[in-house]
Amino acid sequence: MSWFPDMGTVTMIDAGDHVRAVGWLSAEHPYTKGEVPAEFRARLRTFAERWGDSTKALGWGAFLGLHRCELCDRFMASGNFGVPQAGLLFAAPEMLPHYVEVHSYSPARGVRHGGHGVAATGNGGVHGSGRVVPPAARAVP
Ligand SMILES: [Zn+2]
């Protein structure tokens, strides 16, 4: 699979000022490791399982063929999914939950606090735009 830096504006599936790359890992590049809250992991699994819906909704073409995980060589996936949030589109491979759960990959904080529900502390949150919004005003994807 192709490597793209986290939070970059280019991925295999989409590119642009509004695009943020998440989890395009490669064995040849270091990546951020760390604890990922269980709730966020569960959401990632759901997103990945529904990558087909996401691809259709975003008008992305379907890519044929499987990608093999370069880190362990034991996992394969073929899809991609996007999560629109605060004017941005986080674009990730279906492999993302695998990276998180098996390889301790920790998506950039901007992703986790981008309104995925994980940052639901009840005290509001800062969106990608830097605007502080009350919890009630948050978009629920
Ligand atoms: Zn792997």
Q: How far is CA 31 from the centre of its chain?
A: 14
pTM of the full predicted structure? Answer: 0.77
Give the distance (Å) from ligand 1 centre to CA of residue 42: 18
**Lowest mean pLDDT segment, chosen from 39-48, 61-70, 72-81, 112-121:** 112-121
Give the distance (Å) from ligand 1 centre to CA of residue 99: 6
Give the distance (Å) from ligand 1 centre to CA of residue 139: 32
Mean pLDDT calculated for residue range 74-102: 94
Q: Tell me what the pLDDT averaged over the chain comes to.
A: 81
CA distance 101 to 37: 11
Give the distance (Å) from ligand 1 centre to CA of residue 98: 6
Give the distance (Å) from ligand 1 centre to CA of residue 95: 8
